[in-house]
Amino acid sequence: AMAHRLYTLVFPMDEQNGRVLLGMKKRGFGRDKLNGFGGKVEVNETIAEGAARELAEESGLEAKSMKQCGLLMFYFENDPVAMEVHVFLVHKYEGTAVESDEMRPQWFGIHDMPFKQMWADDSLWWPYVLKEQKFVGQFWFKADQVTVTREKLSAVDSL
C-alpha cells in the first residue's frame, strides 16, 4: 500500500441546539478553509489521544465523550504520502471555544453547513454524520487542493 500519515479531525457537537463547532484555519495546510479540529497523530499517543489533544490545542474544548464516525484517505497529486484521517464526533465537552494561533472557532447549524468554505469532500460525507451512519472514503485531489478527480465513499458497520 501507499505510504500514509495519520491525522485526526474532530467535530464538537452541541446537540441541544443542533450546532457543530468549526474553525477557520489561520495557517498551514488547509489555510482559509473552515474545518473540524485536528492534526498529525504523534508517536507517543493513540489516535483518540491525538484527537483530544488537537481539539484542546486548537479550540480550548476538553473532550468528555468522543466517538469515531469515519475514516478518510486523501491522495494529493504529486504527494507520495497519503493522509489517513480519523474523524471523530464529540458529544460532551467542557470549556468554551476560544481562538487559537491556528483556528478561529465558529458554531454552525448542522443542516446549514458552510460547504463552499470547506474541503470539497465534506459535503459528500457530512450526510452520513447526520444519519449517524459510519463511513469510509477515499478522495483524490489535484495539487490545487480544490479539485476532486476521483472519489469512493461508502457506509460501514464498524471502523
Nearer to ligand 6U4, 11 or 16 (CB): 11
Number of residues binding to Na ion, judged by CB under 5 A: 2
Contacts with 134 (C-beta within 8 Å, 6 or more apart), sequence order: 68, 69, 70, 128, 155, 156, 157, 158, 159
Nearer to ligand 6U4, 16 or 30 (CB): 30
Nearer to ligand 6U4, 93 or 113 (CB): 113
Nearer to Na ion, 41 or 134 (CB): 41
- For residue 135, state whether it binds ligand 6U4 (rule: CB under 6 A): no
Cα 156–chain centre separation: 18
- For residue 23, state whether it binds Na ion (rule: CB under 5 A): no
- For residues 105 and 152, what is the distance between their CA atoms, to the nearest angstrom? 30
- For residues 60 and 76, what is the distance between their CA atoms, to the nearest angstrom? 30
The CA-based angle 85-62-128, given to 5 degrees, is: 40
- For residue 128, state whether it binds ligand 6U4 (rule: CB under 6 A): no
- Least distance in Å: CB of 23 to Na ion? 9
Site mask, ligand 6U4, residues 53-82, x = CB under 6 A? -x-------------------x--------
Give the CA dihedral 51, 54, 60, 66, nearest 10 degrees.
Answer: 0
Q: Which of 39, 70, 105, 137 binds Na ion (CB under 5 A)?
A: 39
Q: Which amino acid is at 29?
A: F
Interacting residue ranges for ligand 6U4, rule: CB under 6 A: 7-9, 28-30, 35, 38-40, 54, 74, 83, 85, 119, 121-122
